[in-house]
Amino acid sequence: MSARVSAVPSTQPLPERRRIGDRFGDLFLHGLTGAAAVAAAVLLGAIAWKIFQLAWPAITKYGFAFVTRQGWDTVHNKFGALDLIWGTALTSFAALLIATPLSIAIGLYLSELAPRGARTVIASLVELLAAIPSVVLGLWGILVLGPFVGQDLEPWLHRHLGFIPLALGATRWEMVRGVILPYTRTGVSAAILLGFGRAIGEAIAVTQVIGAGHGIHWSLFVTGDTLASKLAEQYQGAVSNIQIASLVYLAAILLVISLLVNLTALFIVRRFSHERIGGS
């Protein structure tokens, strides 16, 4: 490209120094921004590497059986993650069960029912709810999920042909059930997964609320522990190296679960947005 430019005789050729300066500036900015992007990727890799490195003594000692064993015995150094994984799954699923219908309902209200003036006010109030720090909240699931799903549904009717079923004589609910929900299904499920990812990693609110308990329970009203809350609560009081390594082993399990959940959600989001761009 530069060759072509120089082939055309220009009336006022740029001073040589400025041209060199510009080329250097372009290269420099390109390199600097690129380096920042590479740094982000390196950071992600470093996080995974460091967690597994810290957990390595426990991984080699207990192996994969750690995941399927129960109990957290600090006296005899017998550790297992099963009941913690169970606690994480149980609390997160319960949160999901409460949060999903509520979030979808809020999203539908905002997109289809709310009067124009109230819409922005209520939407920003719901988003504020999500901004409240988890350490202040004992309750969490609803607040984590709400905004994701709300955003996903909001502009639907305005961008798409949702008014056609209405014009054909369907009630609003029939339009929602027959058209909007099926159409936004992938997006909503991705939002739910992202919310789930946040719920399983929530350490502080859970530690404050559920307290330290042991064993596997079906009930939500017995104290239990999750992977993240166990970490938050025991890390500083840990006495032996193998106990610390075991705790980080928990973090490694948490890391793997949250990576899987997030990547699945992101994959769905991407495919979904491609479909939308291509399909409608």
Partner 1 sequence: MAVDAGRYSLTLSRRTRRRKVVNLLMQALATLAALAAVAVLALVIVSVAQRAASALSWDFFTKTAATFGQSGGGVANALVGSLVIVAVATAMAVPVGILIALYVSEFAPPRVGDLVRLVLDVLNGLPSIIIGIFVYGLLVIGSGQAAWKGSFALAIIMLPLVARATQEVLALVPGTLREGALALGASRWRTVLGVVLPTSFGGILTGTVLAVARAAGETAPLLFTTSIAANAVTWDPRQPVLSIPYDIFVLSESPDPADHARAWALGFVLICFVLVTSLSARLLLARYRKRMEG
Q: Nearest Cα to 182, choosing from 150, 156, 148?
A: 156
173 binds partner 1 (CB under 8 A): yes
- Identity of the residue, 90 or 266, whose beta carbon is nearer to partner 1 in the bound complex: 266
Selected from 6, 26, 68, 220, the binder of partner 1 by CB under 8 A is 26
User: Per CB under 8 A, which region of 56-64, 65-73, 215-223, 254-262 contacts partner 1?
Assistant: 254-262
Q: Is 81 in the site for partner 1 (CB under 8 A)?
A: no
Tell me the window of 64-72, 165-173, 184-192, 216-224 that interacts with partner 1 (CB under 8 A).
Answer: 165-173
State which of positions 211-230 bind partner 1 (CB under 8 A). Answer: 228
Q: Scanning the structure block, which residue is given the tokens 């169970």?
A: 86
Long-range pairs for 253-260: beta carbons < 8 A, 24 or more residues apart:
253/67, 253/81, 253/85, 253/227, 254/88, 254/200, 254/201, 254/227, 254/228, 255/47, 255/48, 255/51, 257/88, 257/200, 257/227, 258/197, 258/200, 258/201
Sole binder of partner 1 in the list 70, 77, 186, 262 (CB under 8 A): 262
Tell me which of 34, 71, 155, 178 binds partner 1, using CB under 8 A.
Answer: 34
Q: Is 192 in the site for partner 1 (CB under 8 A)?
A: no
Rule CB under 8 A: say whether 125 interacts with partner 1. yes
Q: What are the angstrom distances between the C-alpha of 65 and each of 3, 39, 79, 97?
A: 65, 35, 10, 30
Which of 114, 181, 216, 242 forms a contact with partner 1 (CB under 8 A)? 114
From the list 127, 185, 222, 240, which residue makes contact with partner 1 (rule: CB under 8 A)?
127
- Please give the Cα distance from 109 to 101 (Å, whole number): 12
- The least distance separating partner 1 from the CB of residue 221, rounded to whole angstroms, comes to 21
- CA–CA separation, 162 and 14 (whole Å): 57
